[in-house]
Amino acid sequence: MTEDVSRADVKEAVRERYAGAARLASSQASGCCGPAATDDLAGAGFGAALYEEAARDEVPDAARLASLGCGNPTAVAELNEGETVLDLGSGGGLDVLLSARRVGPSGKVYGLDMTDEMLELARRNQAEAGIENVEFLKGEIEDVPLPDNSVDVIISNCVINLSADKSLVFEEAHRVLRPGGRFAVTDVVTTREFSPEEKADLAKWTGCIAGALTRDEYAGGLEAAGFSEVEVLTSHDVGDDVISAIIRATA
């Protein structure tokens, strides 16, 4: 962090941004917002348009409209029947609900989010979808409220870049994964080092830019936390010197 912006500043800015996104998604889904609302939620390279149409149709409108991700981690993770999955920064629940269908009744999916508004939206979406093998947890991705060795797969969709302490995120991910468990996320990576002034811009933090790591930093952070078989594969440009990436690793 810089002298001008603290971890607490970043956390509060992210919380406010995504609370607003949850409220906007809820209002648009209920029909009281105009068509421009979706444009406010996601720009080019982000959002539910990155999912196959069939997958988008599996979930309630509000879950789809709240998606601000840069990829489709449910496809990246190659989920299997009976697995236990954790979604870091689960938002409106899109990836949680899709994952729950993939792992089936014998599996379980946890969604972790720090924003009350997103958790409320996600639980409404779960009820509307009628999916029972899901549990939404309030907490932070730097301090996961689950025991050691408790999940098979960790997914996340353009959230880890928002953390002001990514080393803690990687350590917590490794802690809760069972030996041999899979880390399979989509996130943004930067193609250059950002200046201190850019890193102090909270709008760039909440816009998934200023907090992005380079490919080498991402891989190095995962390896330092104990992961092996790390790969960072770039997917598509999302602008402002950041690229969507598929990141996989083994605990």
- Mean of pLDDT values over 148-175: 96
Superfamily of domain 7-250: Vaccinia Virus protein VP39 (3.40.50.150)
Q: What tens digit of pLDDT does each residue of 84-123 get?
A: 999 999 988 989 999 999 999 999 999 999 999 999 999 9
Q: Is the pLDDT of residue 204 over 60?
A: yes
Q: What tens digit of pLDDT does each residue of 37-94 get?
A: 334 444 444 555 555 554 555 655 555 555 566 777 888 889 999 999 999 999 889 8
Buried b (16+ CB within 10 A) or exposed e, 69-93: bbbbbbbbbebeeebbbbbbbbbbb
The structure tokens listed for 86 are 């954790």
Sheet holding 134-138, edge to edge: 134-138, 108-113, 84-88, 151-156, 177-190, 242-250, 228-239
- Mean of pLDDT values over 133-144: 97
Mean pLDDT of the chain: 84
Backbone angles phi, psi at 156, to 5 degrees: -170, 150
C-alpha atoms less than 13 angstroms from C-alpha of 203 in its C-beta half-sphere: 1
The structure tokens listed for 222 are 């995962």
Spatial CB neighbours of 39, under 8 Å, sequence gap ≥ 6:
none
Q: Distances from the Cα of 68 to the Cαs of 40, 127, 169, 170, 249, in angstroms?
A: 10, 21, 20, 21, 23
Note the pLDDT of residue 61: 57
Backbone angles phi, psi at 2, to 5 degrees: -100, 175
Note the pLDDT of residue 26: 65
The ranges assigned to domains in the chain are 7-250
In this prediction the pTM is 0.85
- Beta bridge partners of residue 110, listed in sequence order: 86, 135
